[in-house]
């Protein structure tokens, strides 16, 4: 298959798969947004215990393509690191060979989440000899996360950052943390993308009874689900009448937090597990507010989706949120301030705080719509690679 125009090649460290449909979905959304203006090809390799061989699956939708390779996960613990490393390199080598075989012309490379795909970046750079950018979503640089420790991660990251034409970041705190680790470069803020055709306000579907909504992976260390449930317990003991709907998490985490909710004697609390974007959008159109009481974040896509749906956001002062959430859009409290979250939610449920859904929708359309974000990326590639 010969390409009649140059593509932007997305090398992804995270990406949705049939086994994990929401993993790195924000990277896919960036690719879709850019494909409104330029040809985009995403290549991604992942391992599973059920794979039999290195198998590439291709999907095409207009100027957007996905080339996904599934390969066998190592089951030999003693030497698994080395097997994992060589299979990973082989997977991306096969993807590169497939691009070459199909005469794909590349205008620039976009590395999405530096590690581990930075390990494979040199082979793509060597062949295509084009500029590359980085879009970093990982929170590991933050002191609250503190996972930027491994020697192999640091080495690959420093090499990738050193030669990048641009480093897009998703929160000011993330940028400052990266600079604090000596990762100097040409930084620029990039918003995550919201599908504004899917996530939009619909007053006709709003529930009569107040619904407080939480959407996340339910990872305790990051999302502070236990703290959220304790705040809900205090509200219910104070006789506030509302429903709590919790979306996300795998079967194990959902089961764990159901038991935690039972211990706290919570009522009107429903866990629905992982849902599709369309299902999440429908929940947001029924709900009255989003709660995200996290310990750390970057630029939470769920917050952007909530604003696009006209939902006020009650969250911690984490990631980019202090630079986004004004009093028209929601309320922020200090990390771990359960009393502060309780009080702001009481004021909301008492009808004492008012928000501006039209300003929420406008904020998203001006900053996080596919058209705006896609054009921002396209403008850079057209100017830098002309």
Q: Tell me: the pLDDT tens digits for 170-206? A: 999 999 999 999 999 999 999 999 999 999 999 999 9
Residues in the chain: 386
Residue 5's pLDDT is 83
Distance of CA 238 to CAs 16, 20, 257, Å? 41, 39, 22
Q: Tell me: the pLDDT tens digits for 296-352? A: 999 999 999 999 999 999 999 999 999 999 999 999 999 999 999 999 999 999 999
The 3-state DSSP class for residue 112 equals strand
Q: Is the omega angle on the peptide bond into residue 371 within 30 degrees of 0, that is, cis?
A: no
For the stretch 277-284, contacts whose Cβ atoms lie closer than 8 Å and that sit 24 or more positions apart, written own/partner, are: 277/25, 277/195, 277/198, 277/199, 278/198, 279/247, 280/215, 280/247, 280/305, 281/198, 281/199, 281/200, 281/305, 281/309, 282/205, 283/213, 283/215, 283/245, 283/247, 284/199, 284/213, 284/309, 284/311
Strand-strand pairing, 55-61 and 64-72: antiparallel
Residue 270's pLDDT is 98
Closest among 199, 190, 194 to 311, alpha carbons compared: 199
Q: What is the mean pLDDT of residues 246-257?
A: 97
The model's confidence at residue 2, banded by pLDDT at 50, 70 and 90, is very low
* Residue 102 predicted with pLDDT over 90: yes
Give the Cα separation of 243 and 245 in Å (integer).
6
pTM of the model: 0.95
Residue 84's pLDDT is 86
Give the Cα separation of 29 and 181 in Å (integer).
29
Domains of the chain: 7-193+369-384 (3.40.50.2000), 203-366 (3.40.50.2000)
The model's confidence at residue 79, banded by pLDDT at 50, 70 and 90, is low
Distance of CA 115 to CAs 20, 34, 71, 255, 346, Å? 19, 22, 18, 31, 42
Contacts of 339 (CB under 8 A, 6+ apart): none
């Amino acid at each position: 298959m010969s390409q009649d125009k140059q593509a932007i090649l997305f090398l992804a460290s995270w990406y949705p798969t049939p086994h994990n449909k929401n993993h790195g979905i924000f990277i896919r959304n960036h690719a879709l947004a850019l494909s409104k203006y330029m040809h985009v090809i995403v290549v991604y390799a992942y391992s599973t215990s059920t794979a039999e061989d290195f198998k590439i699956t291709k999907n095409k939708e207009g100027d957007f393509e996905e080339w996904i390779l599934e390969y066998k996960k190592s089951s030999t613990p003693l030497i698994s690191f080395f097997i994992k490393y060589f299979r990973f390199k082989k997977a991306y080598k096969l993807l590169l060979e497939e691009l070459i075989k199909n005469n794909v012309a590349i205008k620039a490379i976009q590395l999405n989440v530096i590690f581990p795909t930075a390990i494979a970046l040199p082979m793509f750079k060597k062949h295509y000899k084009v500029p590359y950018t980085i879009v970093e979503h990982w929170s590991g640089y933050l002191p609250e996360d503190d996972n930027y420790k491994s020697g192999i991660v640091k080495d690959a990251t420093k090499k990738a950052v050193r030669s990048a034409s641009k480093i897009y970041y998703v929160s000011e705190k993330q940028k400052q943390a990266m600079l604090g680790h000596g990762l100097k470069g040409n930084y620029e803020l990039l918003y995550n993308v919201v599908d504004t055709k899917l996530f939009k306000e619909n007053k006709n579907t709003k529930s009569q009874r107040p619904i407080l909504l939480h959407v996340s992976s339910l990872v305790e260390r990051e999302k502070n689900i236990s703290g959220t449930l304790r705040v809900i317990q205090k509200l219910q003991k104070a006789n506030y009448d509302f429903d709590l709907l919790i979306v996300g998490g795998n079967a194990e985490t959902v089961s764990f937090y159901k038991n935690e909710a039972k211990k706290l004697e919570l009522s009107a609390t429903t866990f629905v597990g992982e849902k599709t974007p369309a299902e999440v959008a429908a929940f947001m159109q029924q709900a009255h507010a989003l709660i995200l009481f996290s310990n750390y974040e970057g630029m939470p896509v769920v917050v952007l989706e909530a604003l696009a749906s006209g939902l006020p956001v009650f969250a911690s002062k984490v990631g980019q949120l202090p630079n986004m959430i004004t009093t028209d859009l929601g309320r922020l409290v200090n990390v771990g301030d359960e009393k502060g979250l309780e009080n702001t939610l009481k004021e909301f449920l008492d009808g004492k705080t008012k928000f501006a859904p039209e300003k929420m929708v406008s904020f998203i359309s001006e900053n996080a719509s596919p058209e705006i974000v896609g054009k921002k990326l396209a403008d850079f590639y057209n100017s830098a690679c002309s």
